[in-house]
Amino acid sequence: MSAAIRRVMICGRVQGVGYRAWVEREAMMRRGLEGWVRNRRDGGVEALFYGPADIVSEMVALCRRGPSSARVDDVTDEPAGPDSLNLRHAGEGFSVLPTV
């Protein structure tokens, strides 16, 4: 099975509704993906997912719905390189990063 790294930008009412915690739980705990998630100053959420391509695609699709308290207006995703994983905190497979 091939691996994929995807960078995802989520827009809508996605801050202050537990979106980052939801992404961390769905990606790391339920699907075993690596990566990170963070809020953006523009009001969006950005995430990076690494793992089996089909599981990464499944996670990207889930981001289009988000947790029940969120309202997702738009999701864009693009391939990313392995260097993007270096943003994670040392020793963590999946990190919640500070706002950028």
pLDDT in tens, 10-51: 999 999 999 999 999 999 999 999 999 999 999 999 999 999
Number of domains in the chain: 1
pLDDT in tens, 71-86: 999 999 999 999 999 9
Cα 44 → chain centroid: 11
Residue 58 lies in a domain: yes
The residues assigned a catalytic role are 20, 39
Which CATH number is 49's domain given? Answer: 3.30.70.100
Q: Nearest-CA neighbor of 8 among 51, 28, 38?
A: 38
Residue 96 lies in a domain: no
Residue 98 lies in a domain: no
Question: What CA–CA distance (Å, rounded) separates 4 from 37?
Answer: 16
The domain of 41 spans 3-89
Give the pLDDT of residue 1: 67
Residue 94 lies in a domain: no
Tokens of 55: 């599981």
Question: What CA–CA distance (Å, rounded) separates 54 from 46?
Answer: 20
Residue 99 lies in a domain: no
Which secondary structure element, helix H or strand E, spans residue 14, and what is its range?
none
pTM: 0.96
